[in-house]
Amino acid sequence: MSRKRNALLSVVLSGTLLLSGFGSALAGNAQQNDGPPQLTGLDSIDDVVAAMTLQEKAALVVGGNKEVLEEIDNEIIGNQATRVPGAAGQTQAIPRLGIPSIVLADGPMGVRINPTRPNDDNTYYATKFPAPNVLAATWDRDLVYEVGEATSHELREYGIDLLLAPGMNIQSYLLNGRNSEYFSEDPYLTGRMATALVSGVEDHGIGTTIKHFAAYNQRADNNIDAIVSQRALREIYLKGFEMTVKDADPWAIMDSYNKINGTWATENKDLLTHILREDWGFNGFAMTDWEFGARNIAKQMEAGTNLLMPGRPQQSTAIVNAVNDGILDEAVLDRNVKDILRIIVQTPTFQGYEYSNDPDLAAGAEVARKAAADGMVLLKNEEQTLPLDSDTTVSLFGTPSIETMTGGRGSALVHAEYQIGIAEGLQNAGFTINEELYEKYETYVETLRATDEYKQTPGNFFVSTFPTLPEMDVSEEAITAAGNSDVGIIVLATEFGSYGNDRSLEDFYLSDSKQAMIDDVTAAFHAEGKPVIAILNVEGPLEVVSWRDKVDAILLSWQPGQEFGNAVADVLSGKVNPSGKLPQTFPKDYTDLPYSETYPGTGSFIYEEDIYVGYRYNTTFDVEPAYEFGFGLSYTEYEYSNIRVNRNGNFKDKIQVFATVENVGEVAGREAVQVYVSKPDGKLEKPEIELKAFDKTRELRPGKKENLRFELDAKNLASFDEELSAWVLEAGTYEVRVGASSTDIRGTATFTVAEDVVVEVVNDVLAPQIEFERLSKFAQ
C-alpha cells in the first residue's frame, strides 16, 4: 500500500465512529423485550423480515423520495434525496424496526450533490475526477484504486452510503452519448479498471453500484431492444461485469433501461438471477435505473431486481396489490428485502457514522490532477515539439480555450469548488500567455453567448445545452500571434451535446470553421518556423486524418476533471512524461465502422458485428485505424526484451508470460505494457487478438529496466461456446503478443493447449429471439 493510500485511510478512519445510530444502540440484541425486533446486524435480518408487515416490505423495495414524485418532473430527476440535498436517491426508513434510510449518489466522475443549501453558509463541493475513459487511459490500477479511495472519503464525509458508479458498459458504438461514463471498448480493461475503482471505494466501507447492466450501448433510445448473441454478451458485454462481481464483490448493481433480446433488463430473470447470481455468485442487491415505475413490478421483483428507484408511492401500492392478488409470491419479496438489508447493515448510516460535511478536497484534487495527467494521451510529437521550455510564450486558439470542458453531464455532473482552464493552468506552470489574443477570444465567446442563437438553453436535468460556437476567423490574428509568441496551441472540443442524446456525426467531423482555424494557425506559425500543438478536449474519438498532418503535436486531454489546466501544463512542460494509452480505437472515418449504416436503429438494434468490437474488428478485418487501441507516445523510448512463456509453452491451468522493459531514452517515464493473445480458430472463430493482461511499469529512469510477469488462466483465455453454453479453451497453438499497443507488438511467444478444455458450464440463457446474420471472418 502506498504512503498516500495510508494517509487517506487514516483520514477516513479518524472520523468519529459512534455506535449510536439506527440499530447499533441495540447491538447484539436482536429482540427487545417489549418491542419488535431491531435491525442490529446480519444475524438480526431473518427476525426483522419476519416481523415486517407487507406494507413495510413494499416500502423498503421502493426508493423513498420527495413527495413530488407523485408527478414526474424533469427538474428534479436525479435529485431525489432529502437527507443529502442533490443526491440521486435514498431508501425508505422503517424506524419501528431500526431500519435507516440510506443515501445513494452519482456518479462516474465524483460525488454529485448540491454545492449549496438554502439558509446555509457552508458549501458542499466535491472533487471532479477525470472521466472514466481518462482513468482507463492511465492503464494504472493502483491509481484508479486511489481515485476510488478519494471518492469514498468524500462520500463518507457527506453522509452518503452508496455510489452510483462505476459505469462500465462497453464503448462499442462511437456515438453513444454516455461513452465517457465508461472505461473502454475492451471488456478486460473495463473489468480490471472497475475492479480497482470498486475496491478503492468499498475497502473504506462505502458501497458502489456497477452500472448499467447490461448491453446499454446507446443514448439515442434508452428503451431500445438490444439484439445480441449469447457469445457477444458473454465475451464482450457481460465480461467486465463478471470480472468485477467476482473480483471486487460490489454492494449493488444497476439494471439498464433497455431490453436485451426482447426482455427489459430490469424484468430479466435470465440476466439478474441465472447469470448474475447463479453463474457469478453476486451477493449484493440490484436496483433499477431512475425509471419511475415504467415496468411490471411483479416481474421485476421475480427477476431479481431488489430496489425500484427513484421510487414512487404507487409502486409500493402495486407491490402490496400484487402479493394480495397472488401475482407476486411474498417469499420473493422477502428475498429481495433481505438482500437489501444485508447491505444496509454495512453502511456508515447504519453504523452511526458522524460525518463531517468537510471532506479533504485538497487531497481529492491532488489525486484528480495526477490521474488527469497520467490519462492524457500523446498522439503525435513531431521533432520533439513537446515538452515545451518553461519560458515559452503561448498563443491559445479555439473557443474551448475559454470554455474548457472538464466533463460530466447529467448524472455524471460534479459540482467542483473550482475548475482550472487551460490558460490558467499554463500560467500556473510559468508559461506566458498571449493576453491580447486571449481577451479577443473572451469577448468573442461572451458576445456570442449573449445572442439568442448561442445562449444556453434554460435546462433541466436532461437538456442543459450550450449550442456549439463557430470558431472565430483568425486569419489575421494568427499572423500577429505567430510573430509575437513561440508556439500556437489550438484547443478542439467535443460539441456541447445534451445529456439525453447520442453524439452527432457533426461532433465526429470537425466543422468548417475549425478546419479553417487549423489552416490559418498552422500556415502562420509554420511560416515563422514555429510549431502548433492541438489539444483534444473531447469525450471520445473524432476524425483526425483530414487535419493531423498539419499540426506538429497532438495531445488528447479528454475531459479530465477539475484539474484540467494544471494537468495539461504538467504534460506540456514535461513535469509529467505522458504515459496514457488509448482505451478506444480512433477510426479513420465513421464509415470504417462495421455498424456505420445501421446504428442506432429504431425500436431494436442488432449487434451484427458480434464479438468484433473495437480493435477486435480492425485487427481481424485489416481495417487500419487512425490511432489504434493501446496507442500513446512518450517523451522517452522503451525497449522490450526477454518475451517468453513458462512451462516450455505447454499450457496447464495457467501460463506465465514474462517481459523486460527498459527505458532507452533520455527522460524518466512509465510504460503501459499490453499482453494480447491470438487464439487458434477451432470450432469457434476467434478475433485476431484479445487483450488478456497488462501492467504499467514503475517510473523508470533512463537506462533502468523492469521485469514484468503476467499470468493467464484458462477462464481468461477461453471463448464462449453457445452450443455447450460453456467457456471452452480450444486446443491449438496460442500466440502471446506483448506490445506497446494493439499493433506495436515488440515480441511474441507461443504456447500449446493439448486438448479442448471445458472451463466452465453456465446457464443457457439470453439467446436472441430472432435469427440474424453475424459478422464472421469466414463469411464470403
Q: Which residues bind ligand BGC (CB under 6 A)?
A: 78, 88, 106-107, 164, 211, 289-290, 411
Q: How far is the CB of 156 from ligand BGC (least distance, A)?
A: 19
Q: How far is the CB of 129 from ligand BGC (least distance, A)?
A: 16
Distance CA 427, CA 401 (A): 13
Distance CA 340, CA 333 (A): 11
Distance CA 391, CA 430 (A): 7
512 catalytic per annotation: no
- Cell numbers describing residue 10: 487514516
Question: Which residue do the cell numbers 424506524 mark?
Answer: 95
Q: How far is the CB of 172 from ligand BGC (least distance, A)?
A: 18
In the chain, DSSP finds a helix count (H) and a strand count (E) of 21, 26
> What is the DSSP-derived secondary structure letter of residue 445?
H
253 vs 510, beta carbon nearer ligand BGC: 253
Catalytic residue among 106, 225, 279, 289: 289
Start-to-end CA distance of the chain, whole Å, equals: 53
- Cell numbers describing residue 46: 431473518
Task: Say whether the peptide bond before residue 467 is cis (omega within 30 degrees of 0).
Answer: no
Q: How far is the CB of 411 from ligand BGC (least distance, A)?
A: 4
Q: How far is the CB of 272 from ligand BGC (least distance, A)?
A: 17
- CB count, 10 Å around CB of 221? 16
Partnered with residue 638 across adjacent β-strands are: 663
Question: Which residue do the cell numbers 486531454 mark?
Answer: 557
Residue type, 106: D
Single out the residue of 724, 423, 777, 729 nearest to residue 569, CA to CA.
423
Single out the residue of 458, 361, 454, 377 nearest to residue 414, CA to CA.
361
381 vs 411, beta carbon nearer ligand BGC: 411
Contact call for residues 631 and 583 (beta carbons, < 8 A): no
109 vs 611, beta carbon nearer ligand BGC: 109
78 vs 583, beta carbon nearer ligand BGC: 78
Residue 353 phi, psi dihedral angles, 5° rounding? -65, 130
| Three-class SS of 271-328 | HHHHHHHHHCCCCCEEECCCCCCCCCHHHHHHHCCCEECCCCHHHHHHHHHHHHCCCC
561 vs 625, beta carbon nearer ligand BGC: 561
Distance CA 319, CA 57 (A): 9
209 vs 716, beta carbon nearer ligand BGC: 209
78 vs 400, beta carbon nearer ligand BGC: 78
Single out the residue of 332, 778, 372, 311 nearest to residue 569, CA to CA.
372
- CB count, 10 Å around CB of 68? 11
Distance CA 276, CA 286 (A): 10
Q: How far is the CB of 92 from ligand BGC (least distance, A)?
A: 17
Distance CA 688, CA 615 (A): 9
Distance CA 36, CA 493 (A): 59
Distance CA 255, CA 222 (A): 12
Distance CA 564, CA 558 (A): 9
Q: Containing H/E element for 554?
A: strand 553-556
Single out the residue of 171, 294, 309, 301 nearest to residue 223, CA to CA.
294
Q: Distances in Å between the alpha carbon of 107 and those of 94, 129, 140?
A: 26, 10, 20
Contact call for residues 147 and 193 (beta carbons, < 8 A): no
Distance CA 463, CA 501 (A): 9
88 vs 193, beta carbon nearer ligand BGC: 88
57 vs 409, beta carbon nearer ligand BGC: 409
Q: How far is the CB of 697 from ligand BGC (least distance, A)?
A: 35
Distance CA 777, CA 780 (A): 8
Q: How far is the CB of 417 from ligand BGC (least distance, A)?
A: 21
411 vs 741, beta carbon nearer ligand BGC: 411
Within 653-765, strands assigned E span 654-663, 672-678, 690-696, 705-713, 719-721, 726-729, 732-739, 745-753, 757-761
For 221-244, give the DSSP string.
Answer: -TT-EEE--HHHIIIIITHHHHHH
Residue 102's Cβ-side half-sphere holds a number of Cα atoms within 13 Å equal to 32
208 vs 349, beta carbon nearer ligand BGC: 208
Q: How far is the CB of 312 from ligand BGC (least distance, A)?
A: 15
38 vs 208, beta carbon nearer ligand BGC: 208
Residue type, 249: D
Q: How far is the CB of 462 from ligand BGC (least distance, A)?
A: 9
Residue type, 352: G
Q: How far is the CB of 723 from ligand BGC (least distance, A)?
A: 35
Q: How far is the CB of 22 from ligand BGC (least distance, A)?
A: 24
C-alpha torsion angle, residues 302, 305, 307, 312 (rounded to 10): -70
Q: How far is the CB of 133 from ligand BGC (least distance, A)?
A: 16
92 vs 385, beta carbon nearer ligand BGC: 92
C-alpha torsion angle, residues 281, 284, 288, 290 (rounded to 10): -140
The residues annotated with a catalytic role in the active site are 289
